[in-house]
Amino acid sequence: MQYQSRKDVPIAETWDLTDIFKTDAVWEQACKEVEESVGKLKAFDGAITDATSLYNYLFTSEEVGTTFKKVYVYAMLHLDLDTRDSKAQVLLDRAKQIGVKLSAATSFFMPFLLSLDENTLKKYIAEKKELSYFEEDLLESFRYKAHVLSKEKEEVLSELGEALSVPSTTFGMINNADIQFGEVTNEQGEKVQLTRGMYSKLIESPDRNVRKEAYKAYYKPYLESKNTIASTLAAAIKNNVTLSRMRQYPSALQKALFPDKVPQDVYDNLIETTREHLSSMNHYQRLRKETLGLDELRAYDLNAPLVKDVKNEISYDEAFDTMLKSLEPLGEDYISTLKQFKEKRYFDVRETPGKRSGAYNLGLYGVHPFILLNHQDDLDSLFTLVHECGHAMHSHYSSTHQPQITAGYSIFVAEVASTVNEILLIRYLLNVTTDEQMKKHLINHFIDSFKGTLFTQVMFAEFEKTVHAKAENGEPLNADAFNEVYEKIFRDFNGEDLVFDDEVKFGWSRIPHFYRPFYVYKYATGYAAAIQIADKLLAGDAETKSAYLQFLQSGSSDYPLELLKKAGVDLTTPEPIKHALRIFDDLVTEFEVLLKK
C-alpha cells in the first residue's frame, strides 16, 4: 500500500521516537550536556598520569558517548522518516557538528594510550579494579599501534571528519531526496509516479513492456547524473585509499578487514570459490530465458516471475504472524520478544514520500532496536521483515546480555543473524505449502535470494576490490572506468545469455553500500554461515540451538570468526561457501525438474 502522507499511516505502524527523548526540547538539553562535556574530556589531554585519572577519562567518555549516540540517532531517525524535512536536517547537522567536536576532544587518547608501555597499562589495571571493565578494549588498542598517527595529526583528521563524509552525504541526498523517476505505466495501463517501492513491484510484472518502461525510467536519472555520482564515488574511494596509506595499511582492503581480524584469504576465497560455481548461475539464467520464452534475455527480465498464478499478496499483520511461526525453532523467548517489538512500536512500516529507501535495524543501547521498513504487502516484504527482525533480535539479545562496551556487534556477524531467519522462513513456507505452483514460486524465490545475497554481493565485492586497486595504482576513476569494471564482472557472473542494455554497466551508480567500503562481502559470508546454522536448527540439533542463541547474546565479546566457530561455522576454510553453493546447484536442478513436470 502506498501512502501519500505519514498522517495517513496507522499510528501502530509508526515509530515512537519519544522512547529516546520525550520532546525536541529534551533533545536540545542533551545536546548542551554533550557540548559542555567536550571541554571536560579535552581537559584530560596531558592529565592522565595514573590509574585513577585513566579510569575517570574512560568512564566520562563512555557516559558522554552514550548520550551523544541518543542525540544523533534521534535526529537521524527523524530525517529518515522524511529526508525533505528541513527541521530534521537542522537537527542532524547540529548532531554531526557536536560529533566532530567530541571526536576532536577525544582524538588525543589513542596516541596517548599507545605511547604507554604495555606493562604500565597492565599495572594501572591491576591497581584499580574498575579498569577491568575496559581491559579488553585497552589491550585490543595495542593492535592498532602501527596505524595510529601523532596526536596532532589525529586531531586534524577528527576535525576533517565531516568533510571526509561529504561524498557519502552528497550521494545520500542525490539518491534519497533529489532523484525523481517520473511517471510510468502500471499493469492496469494507468500512469503512476515511480518510487523505489513501486519499482520493486513493477520490475516483477509479467508484462514485459511494464518491466522495460520501469527499468528505463528507474535508471534514467542515474545516467543523467552519471558524472556527478561518479565524482562522489571516486572521492569516497580516494578518501579511503588516502586514509589507509596515512595509517600505513598495506591496502584499503586490509584496513577494512583489520578491525574484525579477518585474513584477506577469507575475502579472496569468497570471490574465487564463487567464481568456480558460476556455471550454476549461468544454468539458471538459461533456464530463465527458456521459461519466459524469450529470444533475448535482458536485465529487466531478471526479476520477472517464472511461475504464474501465485498469490503474492500478504498483509503486514499476516506477514508478522507467518514470521513468528517460521522462527519457532529459535524458541519461545525469541518469539514472545518479537511480539512485544510490534506492540511497543519498534517498527516504522510504510513507504511515504521522502522516507529513506530500503530497510534497516538500528539498535540503541539503553533504549531498544528501531526497525525501518518500506513494507509493500508482498512476499519480498515478508522476507525483508524477517531479515530486519534477525538484526533487531541480535541487538536486543546482545544489549540484554552484554555490558555496553561489548554490546555492539560487527557487521560481519550481523548478516548471519538476519539470514538465518530468512532461511528458516523459506524452509517453513516450502514445508507448509501444498500448492504445486507455490512450491515452484518459493524455490524460485530461494534461488533469487541466493543470487541477491551471495552472488550479487560477491560481484559487488569484486568491483570494490578492483576499483580500490585502481585508485591505489593512481589510475583515473570516472564514469567510464566504473562502467568498464562493472560491465566486465556483471558479464562474467550472468553469462552469455544476457543481452546488455546500456543501463547495465551503470549499476554501480545506485549502490549506497559502496560508500561503506568493503562492507557487502559480509552479506555473502553471512549467507553461507546462515545456511549451515539454519540446516542444523531445522534438524532439531539442540546443541546448535544453544550455541546459536549464545552467539546472538555475545555482541563483540570475541572476534567475528571466533564467534562463528563457536556457533559451528569456520569461514577460514572454503567449506561453508562450497556447502552453500552446492545447495544453490541443487535448487536450480530441482527447479528445472519442477518446471518440466
- CB-neighbour burial class of residue 163 (10 A; exposed 0-12, middle 13-18, buried 19+): exposed
Q: What is d(CA 191, CA 256) in angstroms, rounded to the nearest whole number?
A: 45
Angle (deg, nearest 10), helices 278-292 and 264-276: 40
* Catalytic-labelled residue, pool 154, 213, 388, 415: 388
User: Residue 183 forms beta bridges with which residues?
Assistant: 193
Q: What angle do CA 393, 559, 385 make, to 5 degrees?
A: 20
Q: What is d(CA 79, CA 86) in angstroms, rounded to the nearest whole number?
A: 9
User: CA–CA distance from 214 to each of 167, 230, 317, 456 (Å)?
Assistant: 28, 23, 29, 21
Q: What is d(CA 208, CA 190) in angstroms, rounded to the nearest whole number?
A: 16
Q: What is d(CA 433, CA 28) in angstroms, rounded to the nearest whole number?
A: 53
70, three cell numbers: 541518543
Starting at the edge strand that comes first in sequence, how are the strands of the sheet with 360-363 ordered?
Answer: 347-350, 369-375, 360-363
Q: What is d(CA 357, CA 178) in angstroms, rounded to the nearest whole number?
A: 13
**Within 10 Å of residue 569's Cβ, how many Cβ atoms?**
24
Q: What is d(CA 406, CA 143) in angstroms, rounded to the nearest whole number?
A: 17
Q: What is d(CA 55, CA 24) in angstroms, rounded to the nearest whole number?
A: 33
Q: Which of 458, 480, 456 is nearest to 470 (CA)?
A: 480
Residue 388 annotated as catalytic? yes
Side-chain half-sphere exposure of 3, counting CA atoms within 13 A: 21
- Kindly provide the residue ranges of all beta strands, DSSP E only, lying in 298-398, ordered along the sequence: 347-350, 360-363, 369-375
**Sign of CA pseudo-dihedral 70, 71, 73, 78:** positive
Helix (H, G, I), strand (E, B) or coil at 425: helix
**Sign of CA pseudo-dihedral 401, 519, 80, 320:** negative
Look at the block and give the residue holding cell 585502481.
Answer: 470
**Within 10 Å of residue 477's Cβ, how many Cβ atoms?**
21
- DSSP sequence for 222-266: HHHTHHHHHHHHHHHHHHHHHHHHHTT-S-HHHHHHTTTT--HHH
Angle (deg, nearest 10), helices 542-552 and 379-401: 70
Q: What is d(CA 239, CA 169) in angstroms, rounded to the nearest whole number?
A: 14
Side chain identity at residue 152, one-letter code: E
Look at the block and give the residue holding cell 605511547.
Answer: 115
Q: Would you name the residues annotated as active-site residues?
A: 388
